[in-house]
Structures are given as structure tokens and as C-alpha cells.
Structure 1
Amino acid sequence: MSSIPAAADTAAITAVLDRLADAWSRGDGDAYGALFTPDATYVTYVGTLYIGAKEIGDAHQALFDSFVKGTRLASETVGIRLAGPGTALVVTRGDTYKGRPGKLHKIQTYTLVRQADGDWKIAAFQNTKHQAVMEAISFRFQPASKPAAHAL
């Protein structure tokens, strides 16, 4: 059964996401990867699967040095809930940007786990690009498929 986390857990979990955005902004793959568990899974919006903190950090360093160089992360937390003792599920909307942030075109799901030392780390990440046109077509032809959380 899931529940709303205590304020201290919410603050600690949010701090992990803030450190993730900071590492991205600095183009620091080591710091980015360090926020994940050694066996973490990371699925990009194009379907690439990375496994483990080291691979996640190394791959992101290559991206920071090329395709996403100079970008920042914009993120808005949709919700945080506990799935059990020491496990949190977080849904965010976000995107990368240069200059000023624009519309948030992606939806992310994070699974964070509390470590033995009390710190939270990311154990799983899934990033999905929102396909607004396809979604609108689906809802038009099958209105019953429209979720209550459509505003996401």
C-alpha cells in the first residue's frame, strides 16, 4: 500500500532530484551517476537501457560532452509516494533546455530507495516523451481511455 511520505523524506527525495539537475547543468557525469544505485536501471525516452550507476554516469558524460552540452534540466514534481518502507515512487514532468525553459514534453518515473546510511538513491528511471497529437487522437476515438490525470 502506498502512502504520502513524511516531510523529511519528501525533502530528502527532492534534494536527490535537485542534485541530479545540478550535476546535469554542470555536465558532471560522475556526480550524475553517483545518485543511482550500483544496479540501477535507466530507460531513456528513445528506449536506450543503461544498467548501473557507472554506466549511467559514463554514458551521460559522453552526452554532456556532445549532444546535450550546455543544456539544463527543467522539472516539475507531479507526485511522491511511498510504496513501502524505504521505497519511493516519484513522477515528474521535465525536459532539457538552453536559455529559458519551455514546455515540459517528457514524463519521468523514478524509483528511489533508502540506503543503509539513510540517504536516498535512484534505483530505476523511465523517461517517456509525451505524444500530445497521438494522445488526442486516442481520446477522441476512445474517450474512455482518457485518464483523470490527463493534465499531466
Structure 2
Amino acid sequence: MNEIHALLQRTQDAWNRGDGAAYGACFTDDATDVTFVGTVYHGGEEIGRAHQALFDSFLKGTRLFVQVDDVRCYGDTAIVVTRGAVAKSEPKRLDKLATYTLVRVDGAWRIAAVQKTKHKSLMEAVSFRFQPATKPTAS
């Protein structure tokens, strides 16, 4: 588990430095990154290149905040669910969720896929209010 947390910390550190190459190096060569706006990037090199362009423009000076909520290991594969945010200062809440599929390649964990989603708490609250059966048992 420590190695998995260390990998996610490396992604966070690379983001916070604005280092697209280091960020992309955390992914496998055939990785898939689905952003919360729906953009799909393929492969660590493309993910790193695209993020460098973002770090140099829209995301310049931002920091990545990540909280690991769940880790489940299945041999050399792990599923990790996180809450997070991207902001220039400490966010009021972690409003994005990400589900990572990690694989162990040559003894090291790397990201094979990640799907990011913006948490819409108002929509969720309305759903739970009008259809309580939709509320998960674990919160």
C-alpha cells in the first residue's frame, strides 16, 4: 500500500511543480486518462505533454490536492478511489473524484487508467432526498 500512496504522491508532486514529463512518467505507455471535462488522453507521453501545456497556461501555479478514500489490490492490479481538487490555495472541499487502475510493471506501480468526475453535491442531495434508496450505505 505504501508504494501505491507513493505513486499518487509523485503525481501530486509533479503537478505541483508544473512538470508534465514527471507527471506523464507515472502512467504506463498505453495508459488512458479521462478528464472530468471528458477529454481522453492515451499513453504516458501524451498525458505528460498535454499536462505540460495545461501547466503552462490554464493550470499555471495550481496545486493538486488528493485524499485516498479506498484501495483494493488484486495481485499486480489495484483500484484506487480518491477525492481531490485543483486550486492555487487550500480548497474548501475536495470536489473531484478519481478512480485509478494501477498495475505493477517491472516491480513498480504505474497508472494504467484514471477516470475523473466532478462531484455535484447539490444534484446528489436532491437525488437522495427524492429517492432515498439511491444513497450509498457507506459515505
TM-score tier after normalising by the smaller chain length: over 0.9
Q: Secondary structure at the match of 1:139?
A: helix
Q: Is 1:137 aligned to residue 109 of structure 2?
A: no
Deviation beyond 6 Å, 4+ runs, structure 1? none
Which of residues 113, 117, 137 in structure 2 aligns to 1:128? 117
Which is richer in strand?
2
Which of residues 24, 27, 37 in structure 2 aligns to 1:33? 24
* Aligned-pair identity (%): 60
Q: Which amino acid aligns with 1:86?
A: D
- 2:56 — aligned with what? 65
Q: Which amino acid aligns with 2:117?
A: T
Q: Secondary structure at the match of 1:14?
A: helix
Q: Which amino acid aligns with 2:64?
A: L
Gaps of 5+ in 1: 1-9
| Residues 23-67 of structure 1 deviation map (CA, whole Å, 9 limit, x = unaligned) | 001100000000000000001111111111111001100000000
Q: Is 1:88 aligned to residue 78 of structure 2?
A: yes
Please give the alpha-carbon distance, in whole angstroms, between the structure 2 residues aligned to 1:57 and 1:141: 42
1:100: how far off? 2.4
1:99: how far off? 2.4
TM-score, normalised relative to structure 1: 0.89
- 1:146 — aligned with what? 135
Q: Which amino acid aligns with 1:49?
A: V
> For this pair of structures, how many residues does the alignment match?
139
- 2:102 — aligned with what? 112
Q: Is 1:21 aligned to residue 12 of structure 2?
A: yes
1:140: how far off? 1.3
Q: Which amino acid aligns with 2:12?
A: A
TM-score, normalised relative to structure 2: 0.97
Gaps of 5+ in 2: none
1:101: how far off? 3.2
| Residues 63-121 of structure 1 deviation map (CA, whole Å, 9 limit, x = unaligned) | 00000100111111101111x210011011000111223210011111110012x1000
